[in-house]
Structure 1
Amino acid sequence: MNDTKQQLLDWIEQDRDTLIGFLQEFLRCKTPNPPGNTVSGARFVSTFLESLGLPFKTIAPNREMPNIIAATQFGPGRHLVLNGHMDVFPVGPESDWTRDPWGGELIDGRIYGRGACDMKCGTTASIFTYVYLNRLAEQLKGKLTLTVVSDEETFGEWGTRYLMEHHLDEVLGDCCLNGEPSSLHTVRFGEKGPLWLTVKVSTPGGHGAYVHTSPNAIAIAAEIMTELLRLGELPVREAPALKAALDEATDAIEQAYGKGAAKTIRSVTVNLGTIKGGAKVNMIASDCEFEVDLRVPNGLSRQELLAKADEIIGRYPEASYVVQGGNEPNWCDPDADMYAYVQANAEMITGIRPAKVVSPGGTDARLWRMRHVPAIVYGPSPATMGKPDEFVTVEEFLAVVKTHVLSAYDYLTAATH
Structure 2
Amino acid sequence: MSCTTRNEVLELAKSKLDDLVQLTSDLIKIPSENPIGTQRDVVDFVKKYLSEAGIACEEVGCNPEHPCVVAKIGKEEGFSVILNGHVDVVPAGDRNQWDFDPFSGEITDKCILGRGTSDMKAGVAGILFAMKTLVEAGVELNGNIRLHIVSDEESGGEYGTQWLCANGYAENADACLVAEPTSHKTIEIGQKGKIDLILKSYGKSAHGSLAGYRGENAILKLGKVLEHVDMLREIEGKYGENQKQALINSKIIAGEKNGAGTGDVIDHVSANVGIIKGGTRPNMVPDYCEAIVDLRLPIGVTIEEVEERIKAMIAKSGVEGVEYELGCQMLGNYTEIDAPIVEAIKKYAEELWQEEVLPAYQWASSDARDYRQKGIPTIQFGPSNTVGIHSYNETVDIEDVQKAGLIYILSLCDLMGID
- Residue 345 (str. 1) matches residue 356 (str. 2): no
- Residue 400 (str. 1) matches residue 365 (str. 2): no
- Residue 271 (str. 1) matches residue 268 (str. 2): no
**Structure 2 residue aligned with 1:22:** 23
State the alpha-carbon separation in 1 of the partners of residues 36 and 302 from structure 2: 31
Alpha-carbon contact 2:231-2:309 (below 8 Å) kept: no
**Over residues 179-225 of structure 1, what are the superposed CA-to-partner deviations in whole Å (9 max), with x where a residue is unaligned?**
11122121111110011123333322334442221232222232222
State the alpha-carbon separation in 2 of the partners of residues 398 and 18 from structure 1: 10
Does the C-alpha gap of structure 1 residues 299 and 44 become closer, same or farther in structure 2, counting only changes over 3 Å? same
**TM-superposed deviation, 1:160:** 1.3
- Residue 73 (str. 1) matches residue 74 (str. 2): yes
**TM-superposed deviation, 1:45:** 0.5
| Length-normalised TM-score, structure 1 | 0.90
State the alpha-carbon separation in 2 of the partners of residues 187 and 278 from structure 1: 46
Identify the range of structure 1 (318-327 vs 331-340) with the bigger mean alpha-carbon deviation: 318-327
**TM-superposed deviation, 1:36:** 6.7
**Structure 2 residue aligned with 1:331:** 334
**Over residues 268-319 of structure 1, what are the superposed CA-to-partner deviations in whole Å (9 max), with x where a residue is unaligned?**
0112222233344454333333221100000212332133224434765433
Identify the range of structure 1 (309-318 vs 132-141) with the bigger mean alpha-carbon deviation: 309-318
Does the C-alpha gap of structure 1 residues 292 and 48 become closer, same or farther in structure 2, counting only changes over 3 Å? same
**Structure 1 residue aligned with 2:183:** 183
Counterpart code for 2:395: F
State the alpha-carbon separation in 2 of the partners of residues 332 and 252 from structure 1: 18
Does the C-alpha gap of structure 1 residues 319 and 112 become closer, same or farther in structure 2, counting only changes over 3 Å? farther
- Residue 214 (str. 1) matches residue 200 (str. 2): no
Give matches, 1:46-57, under 5 Å: 46-57=47-58
State the alpha-carbon separation in 2 of the partners of residues 197 and 137 from structure 1: 52
**Over residues 217-262 of structure 1, what are the superposed CA-to-partner deviations in whole Å (9 max), with x where a residue is unaligned?**
2222322222223311123322221123212554344335544443
**2:414 equivalent among 397, 407, 410:** 410
- Residue 196 (str. 1) matches residue 199 (str. 2): no
- Residue 152 (str. 1) matches residue 153 (str. 2): yes
Does the C-alpha gap of structure 1 residues 412 and 308 become closer, same or farther in structure 2, counting only changes over 3 Å? same
Counterpart code for 1:226: E
Counterpart code for 2:360: V
- Residue 226 (str. 1) matches residue 227 (str. 2): yes
Local SS of the residue matching 1:138: coil
State the alpha-carbon separation in 2 of the partners of residues 25 and 363 from structure 1: 25
State the alpha-carbon separation in 1 of the partners of residues 359 and 115 from structure 2: 27
State the alpha-carbon separation in 1 of the partners of residues 331 and 68 from structure 2: 25
Does the C-alpha gap of structure 1 residues 19 and 230 become closer, same or farther in structure 2, counting only changes over 3 Å? same
Give matches, 1:251-262, under 5 Å: 251-256=252-257, 258-262=259-263
CA RMSD across the alignment: 2.5
Counterpart code for 1:351: Q
**Structure 2 residue aligned with 1:384:** 388
**Structure 1 residue aligned with 2:376:** 373
**TM-superposed deviation, 1:107:** 4.1
- Long gaps (5+) in structure 1: none
**TM-superposed deviation, 1:166:** 1.3
Alpha-carbon contact 1:254-1:262 (below 8 Å) kept: yes
Alpha-carbon contact 2:12-2:137 (below 8 Å) kept: no
**TM-superposed deviation, 1:16:** 3.0
State the alpha-carbon separation in 1 of the partners of residues 349 and 300 from structure 2: 29
Does the C-alpha gap of structure 1 residues 246 and 29 become closer, same or farther in structure 2, counting only changes over 3 Å? same
Local SS of the residue matching 2:416: helix
* Matched pairs, number: 413
The runs of at least 4 consecutive aligned structure 1 residues that moved more than 6 Å come to none
Counterpart code for 2:163: Y
**TM-superposed deviation, 1:87:** 1.7
Identify the range of structure 1 (403-412 vs 86-95) with the bigger mean alpha-carbon deviation: 86-95
**TM-superposed deviation, 1:137:** 4.1
Counterpart code for 2:392: P
Local SS of the residue matching 2:227: helix
Identify the range of structure 1 (97-106 vs 360-369) with the bigger mean alpha-carbon deviation: 97-106
Identify the range of structure 1 (30-39 vs 354-363) with the bigger mean alpha-carbon deviation: 30-39
Local SS of the residue matching 1:11: helix
Counterpart code for 1:301: T
Does the C-alpha gap of structure 1 residues 307 and 8 become closer, same or farther in structure 2, counting only changes over 3 Å? farther
Alpha-carbon contact 2:224-2:319 (below 8 Å) kept: no
State the alpha-carbon separation in 2 of the partners of residues 146 and 303 from structure 1: 36
Alpha-carbon contact 1:36-1:65 (below 8 Å) kept: no
